[in-house]
């Protein structure tokens, strides 16, 4: 039924080229606070996105109605013709074979509110085995089916499931956090997550004040995940690069960090792999920073056409800006214990909160630590400390990378259906510019 409508659209001869996609999503969310479930939400959503090209003029329309497709196409023609020709537009992508990816898990698709409630109960009860006050969080399961067709022969669809859970545990003066995400709900250890967050909360009780300044840091994977996502926002997209707003500008081929390797591999199933992007272009492995050297930004067909290149398969639905969604920070051979033992005077950071970019070209971001910050002295955790504000260039920090863990963790950024697989890091210098009262 959906395919029939889409085929009819791509056969519209009034456009030189036309592309249509449909995203069908079913999201269920169970939220809990004060150790009790307080919100259960279920959403079914379908949207149709059409891009039309006439004489290099490009128009886009998005609708949730499948009833008035003829009317929608008429409107699209009108807005497309009103545009000026875009000389940078080369072509929508042609059809290319893609690899098969297994991203659909029946267990996730069929999970019920009763099962989510039971899982949350396990987590909450486990956390309460320790002397804590309350547990909060959100547990989400989602199904998406994506169709993409264009007038050049692309005709593909793909279905996927995701599940994600984050939890905060609080006691009188302590805060703890844990999260997990996977395509398969069977991969979750609910008791383990409750235990991790509660243990961190207890460790973090009665935090003391310390002076802001430059410290060595051991960053948990949660914190590294946030840094990676902000790096993406500040410059791994070809749009930012072409508009000279990216930190990669003028740096391709140059060493910009310590020996770290960051890549985007859409086919690696240890992350949220997809066989092709939202234009139907097959996914591939793209090195972004290789052993500290800036190598590539990611492209969709438009940004690639502008530079006479091939798309790297990073088109995003409903956006003209390509974006990496399957990031990997290459692991090392260390572990958290070694990182702590190698720290003379530093901080163990669980996660960052309310992060904002200050200077995109210099990759300077600011934000607060949250849910567990600890002082390390002479290789040992001494005591929890009150949250600190940091203001730090990511690249400058990554120039001081000393240890990288072997173990990695998947952190999601759900609004794009993407993920970051990240290790823990030990960095030599990280600047904290302020403190708070808790």
Partner 1 sequence: MDIEKILKKVEEKADYAEVRYEKSLTNTLVMKNGNIDAVNVEQEKGISLRVLYDGGIGFVSTNSSKDTDDFIKRAIKMAKNNKSKVGLSKEKAYEDKWAVTQKRKIEDTGLEWKIEYLQDLDKRMMDTKVNIPARIFQLNDTLIEKEYVNSDGAKIMAYHPKIGFFYFLTVVGKTVEQGYKQFGYSGGYEAFDVWDLENVAIDEVKGLNKVANQGKEAPKGKMDLLCGPEVTGIAAHESCGHPTEADRIMGRESSQAGESFIKENMVGQEVGSEYVTIAEDPTIEHSYGYYKYDGEGVKARIKYLYKEGKINEFLHSRETAYKMGIQSNGAARASSYNREPIPRMANTFFVPGDYSFDELIKDIKFGIYMKNFTEWNIDDKRYNQRYIGRESYIIENGEIKDPVKRPVLEVTTPGFYKAVDAAGNDLEFTAGSCGKSDPMQGLDVWMGGPTIRLRNVIFR
Q: Which residues pair with 49 in a beta bridge?
A: 21, 62
Asked if 140 contacts 82 with a C-beta cutoff of 8 angstroms, the reply is: no
- The region of 89-97, 135-143, 222-230, 338-346 touching partner 1 under the rule CB under 8 A is 135-143
* The binder of partner 1 chosen from 5, 33, 152, 416 (CB under 8 A): 33
Which of the residues 402 through 421 are near partner 1 (CB under 8 A)?
Answer: 415
Buried-exposed string 217-236: b where 16+ CB fall within 10 A, e elsewhere? bbbbbbbbbbbbbbbbebbb
Asked if 279 contacts 311 with a C-beta cutoff of 8 angstroms, the reply is: yes
Residues 206, 210, 214, 215, Cα dihedral to 10°: -40
Which of the residues 52 through 91 are near partner 1 (CB under 8 A)?
Answer: 58-65, 72, 75-76, 79, 82-84
Closest separation in Å from C-beta 39 to partner 1 = 7
Closest separation in Å from C-beta 203 to partner 1 = 18
* The binder of partner 1 chosen from 56, 95, 96, 113 (CB under 8 A): 113
Question: Is residue 166 involved in binding partner 1 (CB under 8 A)?
Answer: yes
* The binder of partner 1 chosen from 21, 136, 141, 226 (CB under 8 A): 136
Residue at token pair 């207890």: 202
Residue 416 CB coordination number (10 Å): 17
Residue 94 CB coordination number (10 Å): 12
Interatomic CA distance for residues 298 and 304, integer angstroms: 9
Closest separation in Å from C-beta 137 to partner 1 = 4
H or E stretch at 428 = strand 418-435
Interatomic CA distance for residues 123 and 103, integer angstroms: 26
Which of the residues 241 through 280 are near partner 1 (CB under 8 A)?
Answer: 243-245
* The binder of partner 1 chosen from 91, 102, 341, 436 (CB under 8 A): 436
Asked if 266 contacts 274 with a C-beta cutoff of 8 angstroms, the reply is: yes
- Calculate ∠ Cα 186-190-195, nearest 5°: 150
Asked if 382 contacts 394 with a C-beta cutoff of 8 angstroms, the reply is: no
Beta-carbon contacts of 132 under 8 Å, excluding residues fewer than 6 positions away, are 169, 170, 171, 174, 176, 198, 201, 202
CB closer to partner 1 out of 30 and 334: 30
Question: Is residue 172 involved in binding partner 1 (CB under 8 A)?
Answer: no
Backbone angles phi, psi at 237, to 5 degrees: -90, 140
CB closer to partner 1 out of 105 and 177: 177
Closest separation in Å from C-beta 435 to partner 1 = 8
- The region of 97-105, 148-156, 162-170, 221-229 touching partner 1 under the rule CB under 8 A is 162-170
Question: Is residue 210 involved in binding partner 1 (CB under 8 A)?
Answer: no
* The binder of partner 1 chosen from 3, 7, 14, 42 (CB under 8 A): 42
Interatomic CA distance for residues 394 and 400, integer angstroms: 10
Closest separation in Å from C-beta 369 to partner 1 = 9
CB closer to partner 1 out of 42 and 341: 42
CB closer to partner 1 out of 66 and 383: 66
Question: Is residue 168 involved in binding partner 1 (CB under 8 A)?
Answer: yes
Residue 285 CB coordination number (10 Å): 13
Question: Is residue 373 involved in binding partner 1 (CB under 8 A)?
Answer: no
Longest alpha-carbon distance in the chain = 72
Question: Is residue 358 involved in binding partner 1 (CB under 8 A)?
Answer: yes
* The binder of partner 1 chosen from 3, 8, 39, 106 (CB under 8 A): 39
Handedness of CA 297, 303, 308, 310 (dihedral sign): positive
Closest separation in Å from C-beta 149 to partner 1 = 19
What is the radius of gyration, based on Cα positions, of the chain?
A: 23
Interatomic CA distance for residues 362 and 175, integer angstroms: 32
Question: Is residue 114 involved in binding partner 1 (CB under 8 A)?
Answer: yes
List contacts with partner 1 (CB under 8 A). 24, 27, 29-34, 36-47, 58-65, 72, 75-76, 79, 82-84, 113-114, 116-117, 134, 136-138, 140, 166-168, 170, 243-245, 320, 353-354, 356, 358, 366-368, 370, 387, 389, 415, 433-438
């Amino acid at each position: 039924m959906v395919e029939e409508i889409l085929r009819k659209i791509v056969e519209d001869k009034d456009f030189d080229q036309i592309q249509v996609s449909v995203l069908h999503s079913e999201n269920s969310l169970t939220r809990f606070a004060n150790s009790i479930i307080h919100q259960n939400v279920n959403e079914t959503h379908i949207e149709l996105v059409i891009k039309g090209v006439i004489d290099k003029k490009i128009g886009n329309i998005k609708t949730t109605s499948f009833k008035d497709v003829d009317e929608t196409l008429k409107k699209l023609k009108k807005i497309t013709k009103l545009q000026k020709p875009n000389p940078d537009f080369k072509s929508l992508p042609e059809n290319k074979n893609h690899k098969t990816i297994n991203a659909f898990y029946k267990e996730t698709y069929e999970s019920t509110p009763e099962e989510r409630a039971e899982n949350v109960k396990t987590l909450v009860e486990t956390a309460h085995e320790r002397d804590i006050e309350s547990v909060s969080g959100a547990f989400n399961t989602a199904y998406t089916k994506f169709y993409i067709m264009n007038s050049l022969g692309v005709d593909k669809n793909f279905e996927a499931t995701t599940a994600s859970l984050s939890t905060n545990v609080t006691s009188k003066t302590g805060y703890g956090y844990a999260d997990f995400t996977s395509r398969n709900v069977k991969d979750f250890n609910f008791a383990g997550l409750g235990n991790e967050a509660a243990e961190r909360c207890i460790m973090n009780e009665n935090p003391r004040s310390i002076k802001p300044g430059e410290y060595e840091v051991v960053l948990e994977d949660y914190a590294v995940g946030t840094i990676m996502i902000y790096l993406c926002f500040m410059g791994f997209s070809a749009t930012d690069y072409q508009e000279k707003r990216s930190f990669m500008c003028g740096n391709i081929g140059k060493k910009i960090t310590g020996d770290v390797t960051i890549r985007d591999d859409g086919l690696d199933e240890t992350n949220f792999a997809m066989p092709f992007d939202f234009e139907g272009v097959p996914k591939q492995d793209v090195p972004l920073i290789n052993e500290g050297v800036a190598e590539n930004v990611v492209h969709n067909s438009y940004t690639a056409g502008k530079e006479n290149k091939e798309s790297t398969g990073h088109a995003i639905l409903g956006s003209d800006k390509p974006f990496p969604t399957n990031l990997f920070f290459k692991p090392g051979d260390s572990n958290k214990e070694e990182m702590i033992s190698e720290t003379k005077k530093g901080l163990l950071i669980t996660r960052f909160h309310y992060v904002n970019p200050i200077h995109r070209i210099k990759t300077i971001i600011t934000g607060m630590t949250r849910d567990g910050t600890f002082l390390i002295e002479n290789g040992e955790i001494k005591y929890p400390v009150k949250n600190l504000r940091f203001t730090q260039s990511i690249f400058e920090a990554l120039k001081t990378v000393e240890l990288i863990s072997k173990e990695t963790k998947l952190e999601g950024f759900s609004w794009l259906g993407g993920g970051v697989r990240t290790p823990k890091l030990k960095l030599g210098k990280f600047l904290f510019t302020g403190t708070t009262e808790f």
